Structure 1
Amino acid sequence: MAETVAERIARVLGERIVAGELLPGSPLRQDRIAEEFEASHVPAREAFQLLRSRGLVVAEPRRGVRVAPLDPAAIQETVEIRAALESLALTFAGPRMNAACLERIEKALIAADQAQTMVEWEQANRVFHRELVAPCRMPKLLSMLDDLQLANSRIIFSATRSAGWQPGSSLAHRQIVNALKKKEFDRAATMLRNHIRGLERAT
């Protein structure tokens, strides 16, 4: 299904926020966004609503729409919510995994290992986590996790810029996959929860 104008605007702005091109606190003017994307104010406003639901922007009285802050409290909240929901999704996804699911997960692992840049690694990391929970067959939960993963990517890029943090989760990812192959689903979910929570320490 083709994306709407509002979805396209939200996607492009979201990528800029995640990559740090738009810094925390930066104002987003509806008229300027509409002009840039050659759209009316309606899809621009809808795009802002989508970005708010993903935790990437905030609307403040008399200050308008701004890029959401990325402070320790915001990071902790994002990480804890994602850890809880993604591990929940995995408890449903694990028993439904077949060979094709595991093959897609393996491809994402290989892509992460072969990544030459942080951007390539982050994209592979996002695919890995998506494929890990895709078999849960809970579309609302998966949609929520997509939004949280976007916020997670923003945290990763921020940590990389500020502290030179390097990807170090290949081993954790492999251990989770090995547990799934052994049908140790509860153990895999616990490992995933702890792995996600480790992101706080990385920042």
Structure 2
Amino acid sequence: MSAMNNDVKDGRSLTERIASVLADRIITGRIAPGERLLQDHLATEFGASHVPVREAFRRLEAQGLVCVEPRKGVRAAPLDPHAVIEVAKMRAALESLALREGAARLTSSDLQRLDALIDAESSAQGVEALETLNAQFHGALLAPCKMPYLLSSIADLHRISARHLFATWSRLDWQARSGDEHRRIVAALRAGNIEAACAALAAHIIDAGNALAEVLPGR
């Protein structure tokens, strides 16, 4: 297939679709840390030339999900406790910035949606359902900042955090605590205390990062 046929199905380019599928497999652990990603096999699977596969690898490398090693090929990035802490610190800083910029635009209906997501989290079964709701909560919390470059960076970091959560979920007892911390953030926003909400958000992210790093396999 020619690289000229990159565009299509569901409005996304072939490169975007390949990158999305591989990201999902890496995040959920279906592609294990350190596992090789074979360009020829993937090109065959997706009915593609090597060009969109290589471009997908570059995107995944930029997101911290794969390592490209000269003369050795491409592997799923390892799970590193130091990376968990680094990502948590970056998320805490950037998400606090986004909340500070957008909190004044949160409406009562926005806060009600956040409440509903927290309620759904409390009864979620399994890590996939919980992570989906967690991503929706953080997304709804931060979207009013209307800063697309910032939100894009946060989304990349969140994907890395999600991978660590999938890898450690069976050793964590985090669900109830996460819900309580989400409620604390929303309560501060309802009280009009934006700085308290930002501090609670940052603490929530840092605490989660520390918990993930502590139980990461091979630590």
Q: CA deviation at 1:164?
A: 4.5
Distance 1:165 1:24, change over 3 A: farther
Counterpart position of 2:88: 79
Comparing 36-45 and 141-150, the one that deviates more = 36-45
1:127-178 per-position Cα deviation (integer Å, ceiling 9, x unaligned): 10111100001000001111111111111111114x2544230000000011
Other-structure match for 1:50: 59
May I ask how many residue pairs the two structures share in their alignment?
202
Q: SS of the counterpart of 1:169? A: helix
Is 1:143 the counterpart of 2:143? The answer is: no
Matched, 1:186 2:186: no
Deviation string, structure 1 residues 90-141 (Cα, Å, up to 9, x no partner) = 1011111112322332232122122122211111001101111000010000
3-state SS of paired residue (1:59): strand
Whole-angstrom CA distance in 2 between matches of 1:42 and 1:100: 45
Question: What TM-score, normalized by structure 1, do the two folds share?
Answer: 0.94
Counterparts of 2:66 and 2:88, CA distance in 1? 17
Q: CA RMSD in A?
A: 1.4
Query: Within 1, Cα distance between the matches of 2:208 and 2:187?
Result: 21
Higher Cα Rg, which structure: 2
2:39 is aligned to 30
Matched with 1:103 is 112
- Relative to structure 1, is the Cα distance of residues 186 and 120 closer, same or farther in structure 2, using a 3 angstrom cutoff? same
Amino acid at match of 2:143: A
Q: TM-score, normalised by structure 2?
A: 0.87
Q: Distance in 2 between matches of 1:63 and 1:4?
A: 27
User: AA paired with 1:86?
Assistant: E
Identity %: 43
What's the offset of the Cα at 1:64?
A: 1.4
Moved over 6 A (4+): none
